Amino acid sequence: MKIVCIGGGPAGLYLALLMKQLDPAHDLTVVERNKPYDTFGWGVVFSDATMDNMRQWDRATADEIEQAFNHWDDIELLFKGRRIRSGGHGFVGIGRKKLLNILQARCELLGVKLVFETEADSDADYPDADLVIASDGINSRIRAKYADRFRPDIVTRPNRFIWLGTHKLYDAFTFDFQRTEHGWFQAHIYKFDENTTTFIVECPENVWRAHGLDQADQEQSIAFCEKVFEGNLQGAKLMTNARHLRGSAWLNFQRVVCDQWWLRNPHGSHVVLMGDAVHTAHFAIGSGTKLAIEDAIELTRQFKLLGDSKEHIPEVLAAYQEARRVETLRIQNAAWNAMEWFEVCGLRYCDQLDPEQFMYSMLTRSQRISHENLRLRDAGWLEDYERWFAQHAGVAVADAAKPPPPMFTPYTVRGLTLKNRIVVSPMAQYSAVDGVPGDYHLVHLGARAMGGAGLVFAEMSCVSAEGRITPGCPGLYKPEHTTAFKRIADWIHTHTDAKFAIQIGHAGAKASTRLAWDGIDQPLESGNWPIISASPQQYLEGVSQTAREMTLADMQLVKEQFVASTRAADAAGADWLELHCAHGYLLSSFISPLTNQRTDGYGGSLANRLRYPLEVFAAVRAAWPQDKPMSVRISAHDWVEGGITPEDAVQVARAFKEAGADMIDCSSGQVSKKEKPVYGRMFQTPFADRIRQEAGIPTIAVGAISEADHANSILAAGRADLCAVARPHLANPAWTLTEAAKIGYTPLAWPKQYRSAKPQMEANFAREKALKA
């Protein structure tokens, strides 16, 4: 085959040498616009796993790289006058120039033709090529030429960064955060050869402009960075090798994702994108070079598997794209999480978090590293951090004793202390009769209280018969409802040390529907009752009843119903009250612009849309005992264009905080059937994190939290204060006890009736863990 690689970066060079090694008869050319053995940039980073992969495919190149790279395990944080270090992270750093020189020399040795100082404007310049590798970087001309077929999604991110170097040497991957009068700057620092260190400085656009760096040339920018990080540099100078860039060397990162990776051009040649031309990963996790190298390995692998001749090219390229797409998206998602963390850390974490928690948050920023993964990397550091976390939760831990995991530390709100931070979410059961919770609810909630959670929520209890979602939903509007809930509360308080919570709400336009298993959200076949909402609407267009707009008289009546239910919840013995303002129910319908089209003082701006929910909250808070906590559940994202956004949710949370809310329960969606949520593990936790830091109010994280590792990671990083677990608690009432045994936390007390099972479960999990190890 005749193969031309346009672009002499890691992707093109490594692909060329691997394919030449696979069959020396292949005609391989790499076209590069720079001079021989010349390149721009400082150090690059990739993982130990990538090095292992390279050893399998070309040992000679891997050995030479290994002689040149710098390997380190430690990450060090410089923050608020503190120096904190954690080990076991396994990075490889090498100068970009050195890496490319090694690859260039290896290509020459194998017989690959290297053409330098040549601008390859187009794949059309090589009409006789069987395969053109477009490894021409983030600004790929070939990708742009065929944009309608590659369908790139290119997003320019807001932070500014400048890629510098220094001769000061560091023995750890170092992050330095410095506050200026206009905001925070951060530096990403790593040594890549015996003389030189990469020193990337990053800051938000507004901070960059406030310091006049948009008007600064390279020398002025370097002088500025030396001043900001003078305590770290200790007289060492910063330097640039970006003289080829005009004006400022400050850049914005561009995230590139392509829908299609290859095509056949009009000349009959196949063209495939590789490296930064097809995908980029932010330097916050240092995976750009890793992706490029592994692209080359995978394409070669497919040629080896399917046949390395030109008739196999379409099959090979299709298999290559399929094989790389999932792994690439996984890394890009992790890089996106890490990138976003650095973009918002000045707003969200730098001022809010203590150095210890800031370090934990930074280490877990990509969500690829979890709590237990940190234990594998550096058990000593994590144990010290768990001790710090426990002490801040009011738990005295002796120096020789092991601290409890974060999920098993207590949490105090007003006059209530929860034994741990796991919450059984309110989950609709559709099993009440005329609003009365019966034996089913006693068994259901009692079992989960026995299962180890600190707080157990009953499902949403409706403030009126008309406010029920279904005829099977419980209420708090008749004396018999209070009596039934008191029976449950008394049982939980007598037989367990869990606390009992009641969530009150009104279904609004989502009322008068069938039981979930008979057709969720479908109107009743008979016996429907009139429904109300902030504005006229149908939840299911063309199917649901049409809710009428509430009058001021309706609003007064419903507010009084909420107050009456609040008093009933107190009389029933509930320890905690939550006001339901989410999921398109009545109070939520006022907040979201998708469901509130009112023209009076309760519609229009977000402040106006919040008026009625805040009036209800104020009345409820006044009726609820001052020593008992009260939370508010909100939909932090409608997942529909024009709906509530996470930015809006911060404003919503601030409003409820000012009104006296103790905590925000951060859910999302279910406001409109047009929603397009992005699911995944812990997918709603970012809402809890943002609201907690920016609105300054404690939060409950909900959504796809299914393991102790998830909960501990969320809590330890300060992304939320409590973790609500729903479906896993349906599958296993004793989820909390089970997860404690699974992670080897044995001090957790079990109900006395179940204690004989505790050592057996713990031994079984310990045996499983030993076998896996």
What is the per-residue pLDDT for 243? 58
Give me the torsion for CA of 711, 717, 719, 723, rounded to 10°. 20
C-alpha distance across the termini of the chain, in Å: 46
- Decide: 281 and 287 in contact? Cβ < 8 Å: yes
What is the per-residue pLDDT for 162? 95
Tens of pLDDT along 363-385?
A: 999 888 999 999 999 999 999 99
How far is Cα of residue 39 from the mean position of the Cα atoms in its chain?
Answer: 35
Mean pLDDT score, 540-548: 95
Mean pLDDT, all residues of the chain: 94
- Decide: 452 and 409 in contact? Cβ < 8 Å: no
Tens of pLDDT along 118-158?
A: 988 799 999 999 999 999 999 999 999 999 999 999 999 99
C-beta pairs of 238-247 under 8 Å, 24+ apart in sequence: 238/164, 238/165, 238/166, 238/199, 239/164, 239/165, 239/166, 240/162, 240/163, 240/164, 240/165, 241/40, 241/41, 241/42, 241/165, 242/40, 242/163, 242/218, 243/218, 244/40, 245/218, 247/217
Check whether 47 has a pLDDT greater than 80.
no
Instruction: Give per-residue burial for 702-721: e unless 16+ CB within 10 Å, then b.
Output: bbbbbbbbbbbbbbbbbbbb
Mean pLDDT score, 27-37: 87
What is the per-residue pLDDT for 40? 58
Question: What is the rounded distance in angstroms from the CA atom of residue 33 to the CA atom of residue 30?
Answer: 10
Per cent of the chain over pLDDT 70 is 98
Phi-psi region of 287 (alpha: psi -120 to 50; beta: other; left: phi over 0): alpha
Could you tell me which residue, 734 or 287, shows the higher pLDDT?
734
Instruction: Give per-residue burial for 600-614: e unless 16+ CB within 10 Å, then b.
Output: eebbeeeeebbbbbb
What is the per-residue pLDDT for 61? 93
Check whether 39 has a pLDDT greater than 60.
no
- Decide: 721 and 715 in contact? Cβ < 8 Å: yes
Check whether 528 has a pLDDT greater than 80.
yes
At 404, the pLDDT band (50, 70, 90 cuts) reads very high
Tell me the two tokens of residue 275: 């490296």
What is the per-residue pLDDT for 192? 86
Mean pLDDT score, 41-68: 86
State which amino acid sits at residue 128. Answer: D
| Helical spans, DSSP H, in 592-630 | 606-609, 611-623
Mean pLDDT score, 10-20: 96
Question: What is the rounded distance in angstroms from the CA atom of residue 142 to the CA atom of residue 135?
Answer: 9
Does an H or E element contain 29, and which? strand 27-31
Which among 201, 200, 182 is positioned nearest to 192, based on CA atoms? 200
What is the per-residue pLDDT for 239? 93
pTM (two decimals): 0.93
Distant-in-sequence, close-in-space partners of 685: CB < 8 Å, separation ≥ 6: 701, 703, 705, 714, 719, 720
Tens of pLDDT along 290-343?
A: 899 999 999 999 999 999 999 999 999 999 999 999 888 888 888 888 899 999
Per cent of the chain over pLDDT 90 is 87
Check whether 244 has a pLDDT greater than 70.
no
Mean pLDDT score, 416-422: 98
- Decide: 738 and 731 in contact? Cβ < 8 Å: no
3-state secondary structure string across 287-346: CHHHHHHHHHHHHHHHHHHHCCCHHHHHHHHHHHHHHHHHHHHHHHHHHHHHHHHHHHHH
State which amino acid sits at residue 334. Answer: A
Pairing mode, if any, of strands 113-115 and 416-418?
unpaired
- Decide: 183 and 209 in contact? Cβ < 8 Å: no
What is the per-residue pLDDT for 257? 95
Strand locations in 43-182 (E): 43-47, 70-72, 75-79, 82-86, 91-95, 113-115, 131-134, 152-166, 173-180
Question: What is the rounded distance in angstroms from the CA atom of residue 386 to the CA atom of residue 397?
Answer: 10
- Decide: 317 and 177 in contact? Cβ < 8 Å: no
Pairing mode, if any, of strands 576-581 and 548-549?
unpaired
Q: Where do we find the tokens 């029920």? A: 468
| Helical spans, DSSP H, in 530-628 | 552-571, 586-591, 606-609, 611-623
How large is the greatest C-alpha to C-alpha distance in the chain, in angstroms? 89
How far is Cα of residue 242 from the mean position of the Cα atoms in its chain?
Answer: 33
Mean pLDDT score, 175-201: 94
Tens of pLDDT along 656-681?
A: 999 999 999 999 999 999 999 999 88
At 285, the pLDDT band (50, 70, 90 cuts) reads confident
Question: What is the rounded distance in angstroms from the CA atom of residue 96 to the CA atom of residue 146?
Answer: 29
Question: What is the rounded distance in angstroms from the CA atom of residue 591 to the CA atom of residue 603?
Answer: 9
Query: Catalytic one among 190, 320, 585, 612?
Result: 585
Pairing mode, if any, of strands 262-264 and 43-47?
unpaired
Active site residue 477: no
Q: Is 108 helix (H, G, I), strand (E, B) or coil?
A: helix
Question: What is the rounded distance in angstroms from the CA atom of residue 274 to the CA atom of residue 348?
Answer: 35
Q: Where do we find the tokens 């409890």? A: 404
Check whether 193 has a pLDDT greater than 90.
no
What is the per-residue pLDDT for 635? 98
Q: Is 189 helix (H, G, I), strand (E, B) or coil?
A: strand
At 246, the pLDDT band (50, 70, 90 cuts) reads low
What is the per-residue pLDDT for 38? 62
Q: What is each CA distance from 126 to 134, 266, 316, 514, in whole angstroms?
A: 12, 12, 21, 66
Distant-in-sequence, close-in-space partners of 301: CB < 8 Å, separation ≥ 6: 323
Q: Where do we find the tokens 């336009």? A: 509
Mean pLDDT score, 10-17: 96
